[in-house]
Chain A
Amino acid sequence: MFEVTKKEAPSKRKPFNRPVEANWWTRKKFYTMYMIRESSVLFAMLFALELLAGMICAATGNDTSCLIKWINFMASWPVKIVNVIGLFAVLYHTYTWFNLMPKAQRLMVKGEPMPGSFVKVALYGALFITSLVAIALAATGLLSI
């Protein structure tokens, strides 16, 4: 009687793995744009870290001296220049994110799929309203400590 052994024999085959260079994405514009999209999150993360610095300053106590230092840091030119580049990066993220959203999540209404353009218009509407509310609140001086 043969016994079925559970242990597999070590494979003798030597698969050919085509070498991939780390700069593969520079050869085609489509790939380059993909990498730009992927790296745009680094700027969002950088901005999150700037905000984190502000939160840490605010948490040091009821004294606002550290918070004022943080505001002066945010008002400095190097930070502003980085943030302007970051704004373009994040807007590119927004554009690509809204483009892929109808593909990632199909919206069904009464058993019928909504067209992708409807989802996109709704998302741009949400972006517009959120921005408008934030600008209105920040510019009128309603938000203050």
Chain B
Amino acid sequence: MKRSNEPIFWSIFGAGGMLVAIFVPVLIALSFFITKIPEGEQINAAKSSIDAAFAWFTYSGFGSFICFLTISGCVWHALHRVYHGMHDLTIHVNFAHQLICYGLAFIISLIALVACAIRMFS
């Protein structure tokens, strides 16, 4: 019998689910306090610490690494659920559906990883 690839994807799904459950709620809540930066001004931690924190999250080497892990965990978890959820919407899934879902998760993770690498080594 051909070995199933399900355990690998399920473990990523599990890790991503834990990340979405524990880390994403506070991130979304904090993002609500992001304020607009007026024209011509720079990101200033004294004026808005939340803006500065989100800038750190995407811009700094360490921050962008956590950001990459967050994005990758979210999309692998989400697209695994979408793939299995298609059955619930009476779509008979086949290999093409799997390829699209996991392929999309892979591409998004790769873009985030490249962006993270640029921030870490520049």
A residues apposed to B, CB below 8 Å: 20-22, 25, 35, 38-39, 41-42, 44-45, 47-52, 54-59, 62, 64, 67-68, 70-72, 74-76, 80, 83-84, 86-87, 90-91, 93-94, 97-98, 104, 123, 126-127, 130-131, 134-135, 137-141, 143-145
Contact = CB atoms under 8 A, between A and B. Distances in A.
Interface of B: 14, 17-18, 20-32, 34-37, 42-43, 45-46, 49-60, 63-64, 67-68, 70-71, 74-75, 77-79, 81-82, 85, 88-90, 108, 111-112, 114-116, 118-119, 122
Given A48-B71, A74-B31, A127 B22 contact: yes
B118 A143 contact: no
A134 B50 CA distance: 11
Given A71-B54, A75-B36, A90-B28, 15 more contacts: A48-B78, A56-B115, A59-B119, A67-B59, A71-B36, A72-B37, A74-B31, A80-B32, A84-B32, A126-B22, A131-B29, A141-B49, A141-B53, A143-B45, A145-B56
A74 to B, nearest CB: 5
Contacts of A126: 22
Nearest to B68: A55
B58 to A, nearest CB: 4
A52 B25 contact: no
B43 A68 contact: yes
Contact of B22 (A67, A68, A87, A130): A130
Contacts of A134: 23, 26-27, 30
A21 B90 contact: yes
A132 B37 CA distance: 26
Contacts of A104: 14
A86 B30 CA distance: 13
Given A72-B36, A93-B20, A145-B60, A131 B75 contact: no
Contact of A67 (B58, B79, B112, B122): B58
A142 to B, nearest CB: 8
Given A48-B74, A58-B59, A141-B46, A131 B26 contact: yes
Contact of A64 (B35, B42, B119): B42
